[in-house]
C-alpha cells in the first residue's frame, strides 16, 4: 500500500536503507492526516530527561549542526523540538501587581 521512503543524503536515519528516519515517520503521519505532535513531545521530554537544565543548549547545538550540514530533516526536527521545549519548559508569565 505505502511505498517505502528511500533514504536520502539528508536522512536522519541511523539504521539501514530500509528503515524510516524519525522525520520520514512524521512526514508519513502528516500525509495520513495524523498529528505527529505527541511523538515530537515524547522526544522533547526524553531529551529533557537526559539533559535537564542544559537541554536548550544541547538542542541549539544540534540545530546549528543540522544547519551547518544543510540537513533539512534535522533542521525541521530540532526546530520542532526547540519549540516544544520552549512552550513546555519556559516559565509562565509572571503576574504584575
What pLDDT does residue 73 have? 87
Grid cell at residue 33: 492526516
Q: For the CA atoms of the chain, what is the radius of gyration?
A: 16
What pLDDT does residue 95 have? 56
pLDDT tens over the chain, length 97 residues:
444 444 444 444 444 445 667 788 888 888 999 999 998 999 999 999 999 989 999 999 999 999 999 998 899 999 999 999 998 876 555 556 5
- DSSP structure class, residue 54: G
Amino acid at each position: 500500500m505505502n511505498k517505502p521512503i528511500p533514504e536520502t543524503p539528508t536522512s536522519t536515519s541511523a539504521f539501514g536503507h530500509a528503515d524510516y528516519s524519525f522525520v520520514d515517520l512524521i512526514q508519513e503521519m502528516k500525509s495520513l492526516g495524523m498529528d505527529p505532535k505527541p511523538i515530537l513531545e515524547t522526544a522533547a521530554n526524553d531529551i529533557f530527561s537526559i539533559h535537564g537544565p542544559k537541554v536548550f543548549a544541547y538542542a541549539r547545538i544540534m540545530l546549528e549542526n543540522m544547519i551547518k550540514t544543510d540537513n533539512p530533516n534535522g533542521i525541521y526536527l530540532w526546530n520542532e523540538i526547540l519549540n516544544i521545549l520552549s512552550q513546555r519548559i519556559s516559565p509562565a508569565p509572571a503576574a504584575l501587581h
